[in-house]
Amino acid sequence: MAAAANYAFANRQALLGHVQLALEQALQTSPRDLGLRTVYDVAHNIAKLEEHEVDGEMRKLVVHRKGATRSFGPGRPEIPAAYRHVGQPVLVPGDMGRASYVLVGTDRAMQETFGSSCHGAGRLLSRHAAIKQARGRKIADELRGRGVIVRAKDRDTLAEEMPEAYKDVSNVVDVVHGAGLARKVARLRPLVVVKG
């Protein structure tokens, strides 16, 4: 599991390098000169060895978060120092046409869910059903009408990831926030999407 997580981290770093080069070529300046930087990088759908309170005592557990991500409350040593005083950053991506969110972990999540929260909204339609429902539609044009530029490998890739294929992440985040598992920090709007 650790090797797979390291591979995923290295892969994200390689992708980031390619994005930086593309931005430099397109904008004729470096991302650093524009003030662009990685704020936080996190993996999801992995298992980690962690300490949690169970029946009044601290125990080492392997916590597997499938469809979830860490939502540790403030003060935990596993949280990077820059964020430790406020809690774990929780990134909740939305779909191509609606919002994504940044949240922060809470002590309540530590008590209720072993420090876990959602990492997305979840699908409403299977990939096959989404492709079928998208027939005859111009998803890229629809997204452009919402102010979102999209590049995709092909029409089916775009169709299977269309916004209607997913639950509305804003509703999911409202539930997580209301339950006290994470607190809303920022709502982000998509501008450019690359699917490949």
The residues that bridge with 118 in the sheet, in sequence order, are 68
Q: Report how far residue 90's alpha carbon sits from residue 104's, in angstroms, rounded to the nearest whole number.
A: 5
Q: Which amino acid is at 180?
A: G
Residue 172, phi-psi category: left (phi > 0), alpha (psi -120 to 50), beta (remainder):
alpha
For the annotated catalytic residues, the residue numbers are 119
SS3 74: coil
SS3 82: coil
Nearest to 78 by CA among 100, 105, 99: 105
Structure tokens at 40: 């936080």
